[in-house]
């Protein structure tokens, strides 16, 4: 990037610019890297941006996706951690290699260490008052570095922003650094803004049958109702979303909005049914459809396939689409079950459910609070894993604005029970031992209930 441009670049704080320069030097001086990112859609998105950047540079790379930070950090190659690493900066600082950490997860100040070594660059948005839960993700931090390093990488904007969307940072539209990156990419001609119904699928009928994000109460997955709507609107059930006439699309949109209004969902959730998509000028994706595909590959343990698709592998693209389709069918079933769940699964200030599939509970909790469950109470999805209980907690923006911090609560309460936990204020997780007769489950829930009650009610 030209120095003049860097000067004005998003009004970034000076010390952040300095770190981007130092990280760029690391990219420049090495020709092989080990990239380690979080095993989720945002992590894949970050890996995609970074590997695409290195490929253009003819640098080699080895990429891996991890769920938990490794006990022993691999050595022998310069390291780039993305969407993970903030809670282990101390260990990372101890390695001999050049290291870049691009993580947007909030950690307590005592873990947020500063490195004074030029070859250990820790880029954490929270240090600059950038809200990592809402305004930047692993994917968009990677994008920031890649475009800082070389402006050609604006062409990869769709990959970075898909990560932010996957981390639910696009609800109500991008904001903060994400928005600035999106706007700049539009300006650069890499992305194009369009307003479209946020549903994906082969055709309108298929899209509504498997609409889980957004999920339309009493419509999603309801064959008869969908048939009736399509007939009433005189739309061809086989028509692709993009080809439906404007006025019909508007009528359909009204019906979908109504289905959510009836169930008292938040205005910004309802508004985002018809929202801004950023279509790539270089790739056959928009941010919304790409994040959903990446999400499906991550949730089915196929992160590598998600990455291959982002690197332009045509057969991976096809396979990933199939995985997305199967995943939607599976999620619709799980969401219907969640909808029929008994109300007894509630405490005064929280609601919870058990889910067989550990990898599915976080997403179910997230979609549940947006579209199905009581929007006023945080949701906990729980899975039994051997002797442990794995917990995913989700809140709404409104609850976070009232001061709720699920990451902090998960860390604190799991700690009281000799477990571990943490994460974002809006989405967090914990693992605890079940204990005899699963007594720790009740302890965790009632402590959580008490703490949430103090903040929100
Ligand atoms: Mn993330």
Please list the helix, strand and coil fractions of the chain in percent, rounded to the nearest 5, in that order.
50, 15, 30
User: Ligand 1 centre and the CA of 46: distance in Å?
Assistant: 9
The alpha carbon of 167 and the centre of ligand 1 are apart by a number of angstroms equal to: 6
**406 contacts 429 by C-beta, under 8 angstroms:** no
User: Does residue 4 carry a pLDDT above 60?
Assistant: no
Q: How far is the CA of 166 from the centre of ligand 1 (A)?
A: 8
Give the helix ranges, DSSP H, for 311-438: 314-340, 358-367, 397-401, 406-416
Tens of pLDDT, residue by residue over 300-352, are: 999 999 999 999 999 999 999 999 999 999 999 999 999 988 666 789 999 99
Count of beta carbons in the 10 Å neighbourhood of residue 149: 22
Using the mean position of ligand 1's atoms as its centre, give its distance from the Cα of residue 247 in Å: 37
* Distance from Cα 74 to the centre of ligand 1, integer Å: 22
Q: 131 CA to middle of ligand 1, Å?
A: 12
- 226 and 285 Cβ atoms separated by less than 8 Å: no
Q: Work out the pLDDT band at 5, boundaries 50, 70, 90.
A: low
Cα(86) to centroid of ligand 1, in Å? 12
Going from the Cα of 43 to the center of ligand 1, the distance in angstroms, rounded, reads 6
The helix/strand count (H/E) of the chain reads as 18, 12
> Is the peptide bond prior to 306 cis by the omega test (within 30 degrees of 0)?
no
pLDDT at 342: 67
**157-173: per-residue pLDDT in tens?**
999 999 999 998 998 88
Calculate how far, in angstroms, residue 401's C-alpha sits from the geometric centre of ligand 1: 20
How far does the centroid of ligand 1 lie from the alpha carbon of residue 360, in Å? 17
Q: Say how many Å lie between the CA of residue 232 and the centre of ligand 1.
A: 41
Nearest to residue 157, comparing CAs of 195, 192, 191?
Answer: 191
Sheet of 99-102, strand order: 60-66, 32-38, 79-82, 99-102, 120-123
What's the pLDDT at 271?
82
Residue that is written with structure tokens 């058990």 in the block: 354
Check: CB of residue 56 under 8 Å from CB of residue 28.
no
35 DSSP β-pair partners: 63, 80
- pLDDT average, residue stretch 208-237: 95
CA of 452 to the centre of ligand 1 (A): 24
In angstroms, the CA 200 to CA 206 distance is 8
pLDDT in tens, 128-155: 999 999 999 999 999 999 999 999 999 9
Who contacts 18 (Cβ-Cβ below 8 Å, separation ≥6)? none
* Structural domains of the chain, ranges and CATH numbers in brackets: 3-186 (3.90.1640.30), 201-277 (no CATH), 341-456 (3.10.310.40)
Distance CA 108, CA 113 (A): 10
Q: From 83, 67, 80, select the one nearest 141 (Cα to Cα).
A: 83
Q: Which of 58, 29, 2 is nearest to 121 (CA)?
A: 29
Question: What pLDDT sits at residue 11?
Answer: 83
pLDDT at 283: 83
143 CA distance to ligand 1 middle (Å): 13
Ligand 1 centroid vs 49 CA: distance in angstroms?
14
From the CA of 251, how far away is ligand 1's center (Å)?
35
Please give the distance, rounded to the nearest whole angstrom, from the Cα atom of residue 219 to the centre of ligand 1. Answer: 31
If you measure from the C-alpha of residue 218 to the centroid of ligand 1, how many angstroms do you get, rounded to a whole number?
31
**Pairing of β 191-197 and β 274-280:** antiparallel
Q: pLDDT-derived band of residue 117, with 50, 70 and 90 as boundaries? A: confident
Identify which has the larger pLDDT, 257 or 268.
257
382 CA from centroid of ligand 1 (Å): 20
Q: Which residue has the tokens 């949109």?
A: 253
């Amino acid at each position: 990037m030209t120095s003049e441009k860097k000067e004005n670049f998003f009004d970034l704080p000076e010390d952040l610019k300095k770190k981007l320069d130092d990280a760029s030097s690391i990219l420049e001086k090495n020709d092989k890297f080990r990239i380690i990112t979080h095993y989720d859609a945002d992590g894949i998105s970050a890996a995609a941006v970074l590997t695409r950047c290195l490929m253009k540079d003819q640098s080699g790379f080895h990429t891996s996706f991890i769920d938990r930070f490794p006990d022993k950090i691999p050595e022998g190659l310069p390291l780039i951690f993305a969407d993970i690493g903030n809670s282990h900066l101390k260990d990372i600082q101890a390695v001999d290699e050049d290291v870049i950490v691009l993580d947007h997860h909030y950690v307590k100040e005592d873990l947020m260490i500063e490195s004074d070594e030029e070859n250990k660059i820790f880029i954490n948005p929270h240090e600059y008052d950038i809200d990592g839960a809402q305004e930047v993700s692993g994917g968009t931090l990677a994008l920031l570095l890649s475009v800082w390093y070389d402006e050609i990488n604006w062409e990869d904007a769709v990959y970075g922003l898909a990560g932010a969307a996957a981390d639910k940072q696009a609800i109500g539209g991008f904001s903060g650094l994400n928005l600035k990156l999106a706007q700049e990419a539009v300006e650069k001609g890499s992305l194009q803004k369009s307003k479209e119904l946020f549903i994906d699928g082969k055709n309108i009928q298929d899209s509504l049958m498997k609409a889980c994000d957004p999920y339309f109460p009493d419509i999603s997955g309801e064959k008869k109702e969908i048939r009736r709507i399509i007939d009433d609107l005189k739309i061809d059930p086989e028509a692709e979303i993009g080809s439906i006439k404007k006025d019909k699309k508007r009528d359909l949109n009204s019906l979908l909005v109504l289905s959510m209004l009836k169930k008292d969902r938040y205005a910004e959730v309802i508004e985002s049914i018809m929202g801004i998509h950023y279509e790539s000028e270089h790739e056959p994706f928009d941010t919304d459809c790409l994040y959903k595909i990446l999400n499906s590959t991550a949730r089915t343990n196929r992160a590598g396939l998600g990455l291959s698709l982002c690197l332009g592998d045509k057969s991976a693209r096809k396979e990933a689409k199939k995985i997305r389709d199967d995943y939607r069918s599976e999620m619709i079933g799980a969401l219907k079950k969640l909808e029929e769940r008994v109300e007894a699964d509630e405490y005064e200030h929280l609601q919870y459910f058990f889910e067989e599939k550990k990898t599915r509970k976080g997403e179910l909790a997230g979609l549940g609070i947006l579209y199905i469950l009581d929007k006023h109470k945080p949701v906990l999805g729980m899975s039994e894993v051997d002797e442990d209980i794995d917990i995913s907690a989700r809140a709404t923006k409104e609850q976070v604005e009232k001061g709720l911090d699920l990451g902090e609560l998960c860390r604190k309460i799991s700690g009281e029970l000799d477990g571990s936990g943490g994460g974002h204020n809006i989405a967090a997780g914990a693992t605890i031992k079940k204990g005899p007769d699963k007594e720790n489950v009740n302890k965790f829930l009632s402590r959580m209930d008490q703490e949430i009650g103090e903040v929100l009610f």
